[in-house]
Amino acid sequence: DQQVKQNSPSLSVQEGRISILNCDYTNSMFDYFLWYKKYPAEGPTFLISISSIKDKNEDGRFTVFLNKSAKHLSLHIVPSQPGDSAVYFCAGVLGGSARQLTFGSGTQLTVLP
């Protein structure tokens, strides 16, 4: 049972345009959500998060939107840069003392110069 799904394995965007990465979840108990970015041969690095009580969080070029009724979140990158080319994972986190992240399968973003 995949509790977090990223249905698009890949996305290509022109430099300067907006990148929108999507994520769906089934577990209503997730307390917050995280986005990670991963380059080849490196571990994932934390990008941005959103609490389940919020519907938007912004950090520079990155904005995450949460639609709880649709159990959907999206990461917007504006403007996209070639250095943003990486695999992006969304992850749900249960509340309490749980430190287990439930990840989606990732989306490979390629930003074309």
Partner 1 sequence: KAGVTQTPRYLIKTRGQQVTLSCSPISGHRSVSWYQQTPGQGLQFLFEYFSETQRNKGNFPGRFSGRQFSNSRSEMNVSTLELGDSALYLCASSSRTTGPYGYTFGSGTRLTVV
For partner 1, which stretch binds (CB under 8 A), given 11-19, 39-47, 54-62, 72-80?
39-47
Of 28, 42, 60, 113, the residue at the interface with partner 1 (CB under 8 A) is: 42
Q: How far out from the chain centre does Cα 16 lie?
A: 19
The residues in 51-90 that bind partner 1, with binding defined as CB under 8 A, are 89
Determine if 103 is a binding residue for partner 1 (CB under 8 A): yes
Residue 86 tokens read as 């990486």
Q: Are strands 56-59 and 45-51 parallel, antiparallel or unpaired?
A: unpaired
Q: Which is nearer to partner 1, 34 or 111 (CB)?
A: 34
